[in-house]
Structure 1
Amino acid sequence: MKTMTTIRHLLSGGLLLSLAACDMAPKYVRPELPVPADSPQGPAYPQDGGAAAVAAADTAWRDFFVDPRLARVIDTALANNRDLRIALANVEQARAQYRVQRAGIFPTVSANGSATYQDQPFAQQGPGGGAGGISGRTDIYNASVGISAWEIDLFGRVRNLSRAAQEQYFASVENRNAAQVALVAEIATAWVTMAGDQERLRIARGLEAAFGQTLELTRARFAKGIASELEVRQAQTSYDQARSDIAQATTLVAQDQNALNLLAGTTLGADDLPSTLPEGDVTLANLPADLPSTLLLRRPDIAAAEHQLRAANANIGAARAAFFPTISLTAAFGTLSLGLSNLFGSGSDYWSVAPSARLPIFDFGRNAGNLRYARATYDAMVATYEKSVQTGFREVADALARRGTMTAQLEAQTSLRDSAQTAYRLSEARFRAGIDPFLTTLDSQRALYTAEQSLLATRVARAANMIELYRAMGGGLK
């Protein structure tokens, strides 16, 4: 028992020395944000987000996406998307690696048992002076508990390696969160795109019918000698263009559905797919526009970059500690006997303690090279972190600039479409009355078609802009 107590005291002392060891890593200081403190200002940017605006990172995606069909598709994707599963598996890998690295702080206690059987001859003088052979058999049994080559972390090398692995694990968690944010935005954008293509198909079909009627009327007038063949050919071109647009839109709708199925990780039901672009918003419209740049730190990709930076800082500490002595401890407590029945008998116990120290003297620059590599890696991680912040600021600024002008553009495109509709009705009536030539009516039809397509593109862009702004501000995680 006294021997066991001695070893226990050695282990306790080694643990206390490891936990109280000095830390060779530089003190971590978060770099200053390399972007303006406030959101960009100017005529392209909205002045405020409304009195009831809530930060995107605090807005759950179920609350932001108000269309129930879209919400169901996002929920399905979060449960089945393969990229998200890969990201989750990467988190588990990083967690396991952290546990492996952290275990190096503590001694590994193992139990060992062995048996040795020996039969050795030895010479002895026989009767009459001759030599005779007598063999002697020896059975040795051993059982022990101990630790082997446990590094007492006096200079923080093992602890810094453990801290670096922990930060890598945290970074993998944030990368998984960033993958979710990106997935939510991507599938919402794909859903809106499909809704827009469905609407484009509806417009093309409607105009095909209108162009078809015009074509039939022109052919009838040509048969009566009222219209020329040129007018028939002109009407035919508009009708054929609408038919071509129908075929193209049909293809796009099918491809949009394939893209949604891939993102969702399964085949979506028809009830969850859009049949047309809703007249109302598919998202909330009261996200704030004037926010401090520090809120960018809540973006998962920026948080992941900072964890990578912290890991690089810890690796500098591990590289510095390699210049100092490494102290290891091997100890064992057990029992040894010449017979199995006496293995645990009185007087058979033994113990051994073997501390060792190793100090690098000539390593031909290996440790110095590792330290330079760790510092260069840290510098690269600083640049990566700052680039992530700048990229996030640019994405938010771009989305805000688009949002600030989108309302005026939508109003203008709506007015343009309404004017084109009125012009088409008037020109058609004047053509039927014989006042205007057919070319005026044909131009009005084409102008209306273009205005319808432009208004639809603006509506799709507005919905996509709100989704992008939500993603850029860090929304989509909750």
Structure 2
Amino acid sequence: MSHIKRHIMKTSLIAMAAAALALLAGCSLAPTYEHPGAPVMQTWPTGAAYKTADPGATAAAASNTPVSDLEWREFFIDERLRKVIALALANNRDLRVSTLNIEKARAQYNIERAAYLPKLSASVSQTATRTPSTMTGSGEAAISRQYTGGLGIASYELDLFGKVRSLTEAGLQSYLGTEEARRAAQISLVAEVANGYLTLMADQERLRLAQDTLKSQQTSYDLSKQRFKAGATSGLDMYDAQTSVETARSDVAVYTAQLAVDQNALTLLVGSVVPAELMPQGELAAVSKLAPLPAGLPSEVLQRRPDVLEAERALIAANANIGAARAAFFPSISLTASAGSASSTLSGLFKAGSSTWSFIPQISLPIFEGGVNRANLGIAKVNRDISVAQYEKAIQAAFREVADALAQNGTLDERMDAQQALVDASAKSFRIHEARYKKGAESYLDSLVSQRALYTAQQNLISARLTQAGNAVTLYKVLGGGWQPEAGLATTGND
């Protein structure tokens, strides 16, 4: 009876020990992760530069779709631009490097995760020993052989204090951070391609304007020469007309070269030659919708951006590393075990009675490390504080980018109206001066001044249209356009 009681007590102790080990193995010494507050204002900036209307009440936002959920194919309505962006996403080398970095981080995470499991290896070996005749006693040398084979576990560390778990969590967050970096790179690439495409369109319009102006000024110059030869005007009018012709001719050359530069820049972004049929055609206004403005609080909108999510992943990884640094203060238990067969002959290997085994548990307790563990813990905590500051800086930089884009967007309509009115007024002024010159009522200089004012106003109108289209692209980018946020960030901490 006492034998049965002792057996029950022994079994209970083993079960309790196993439960304790399982509980310890599930623990982590990392501090509980706390999401930092957004170090920015809780509302978007207001003032003379910003629109006073509800920022969510734009035509493009009528569907109440957040910008981060609006895919670039839905935002850009020009079919040629869509195809150019698709080419860039397939061929851009920087984006390809970002994708490869994800594969690299995934492999590194798998390495960290593999530490959870013991490493099992199989081996078969032979040991041969020759004993010289002077030592055998028989007068002849002897050769002895031993064959062994089996399975073994080498130095498997029990994760009693969560060191492996913390390192695995850090590896996971680093891997997820590279995915966010790739998403941010894609958003930036889409915006860069769109802006490059828009710039090319604007320079095409500038070139056409310069060519039309050259043609018009050439006609005026020819008329001035005829009137000069007829003695109706002085040579000054003819030379004034010639300066206008040469100015327009210079602009044609400048914008012709600029178009080639724009095409080269677009080719680099796309990663391949852009087919001629995909080159921009038409006007800037037909390329993109008006970007929806944020309809939520800054802290809600900004935390959907991939670069901000990447910074938070880095913060969670730094928090997990504190757990690994704390675990270094506690004992570590590693197990080495093997089981197999041994025999003096190869044929006798794995036969009955040849089995062997070994079990070597090892406990390592840090007693004196010269302050290394304490220093490593201090480094881990400082790295966490650095990551907090970097995360907060990412939020602040994102807020500033959105605020800048909103400030520009708030004044663009007024700027466009004023610039269009200036073009219309300059065109009327030029027509009046040109008619008066043809009737001989005034010198060509007055007509030339009004023509140059019209040309400058038309160039500035093209620049204003480019700014308006570029602002829509910028808003789309800085609001995290096109990427839905993760359902929730994986966190580490004490269970």
| TM-score clears 0.5 | yes
Per-residue CA distance 1:441-466 (angstroms, 9 max, x = gap): 01110011001001000000000000
1:119 CA displacement: 2.8
Task: Provide the C-alpha distance between the structure 2 equivalents of 1:137 and 1:13, rounded to a whole number of angstroms.
Answer: 47
Please say if 1:54 is aligned against 2:65: yes
Which of 10, 22, 28 is the aligned partner of 2:27?
A: 22
Equivalent residue in structure 1 for 2:297, among 277, 292, 295: 292
Distance change >3 Å, CA 14–CA 244, structure 1 → 2: farther
**Corresponding position: 1:413 with 2:419:** yes
* Residue 460 (str. 1) matches residue 471 (str. 2): no
Cα separation, 2, equivalents of 1:429 and 1:289 = 51
Would the aligned equivalents of 1:289 and 1:400 in 2 still touch at CA under 8 Å?
A: no
Q: Could you tell me which residue of structure 2 aligns to residue 4 of structure 1?
A: none
Pick one of 378, 389, 393 that aligns with 2:399. 393
**Partner Cα separation in structure 2 for residue 124 and residue 163 of structure 1:** 60
Contact 1:145 1:334 in 2 (8 A): yes
Alignment of 1:27-426 (within 5 A): 27-46=32-51, 47=53, 48=55, 49-50=57-58, 51-121=62-132, 133-278=139-284, 280-285=285-290, 287-293=292-298, 294-426=300-432
For residues 435 and 222 of structure 1, what CA distance do their matches in structure 2 show? Answer: 16
Provide the C-alpha distance between the structure 1 equivalents of 2:208 and 2:322, rounded to a whole number of angstroms: 62
CA distance in 2: counterparts of 1:19 and 1:261, whole angstroms: 57
Corresponding pairs, count:
463
| Corresponding residue for residue 6 of structure 2 | none
Flag structure 2 segments of 5+ consecutive residues without an equivalent. Answer: 1-13, 485-495
Distance 2:19 2:101 in 1: 34
Q: Contact conserved, 2:92 with 2:270, CA < 8 A, in 1?
A: yes
**What is the TM-score with the length of structure 2 in the denominator?**
0.90
- 1:428-443 equivalences in 2 (<5 Å): 428-443=434-449
Once the two structures are superposed, residues 180-234 of structure 1 have per-residue CA deviations (whole angstroms, 9 ceiling, x without a partner) of 0000000000000000000000000000111111111222222222322222222
Farther off after superposition, 12-21 or 457-466:
12-21
Q: Output the CA distance in 2 between the equivalents of 1:188 and 1:54.
A: 21
Q: SS at 2:150's partner residue?
A: strand
User: Distance between the aligned counterparts of 2:317 and 2:102, measured in 1?
Assistant: 16
The amino acid of 1:283's aligned partner reads S
Q: Which moved more, 1:94-103 or 1:212-221?
A: 212-221
Secondary structure class of the residue paired with 1:351: strand
CA RMSD of aligned residues (A): 2.1
* Partner SS, residue 175 of structure 1: helix
| TM-score normalized with structure 1 length | 0.93
CA distance in 2, matches of 1:200, 1:105: 64
Cα distance 1:227–1:477, how it changes in 2: closer, same or farther (>3 A)? farther
Q: Is the 8 A contact 2:294 2:301 kept in 1?
A: no
CA contact under 8 A between 1:38 and 1:290: conserved in structure 2? no
Structure 1 window deviating more from structure 2 (178-187 vs 361-370): it is 361-370
Residue by residue over 1:418-472, the C-alpha shift from the partner in whole angstroms, topping out at 9 and shown as x without a partner, is: 1111111111001111222211101110011001001000000000000000000
Contact 2:187-2:481 at 8 Å conserved across structures = yes
Q: 1:260 & 1:476 partners in 2: Cα distance? A: 22
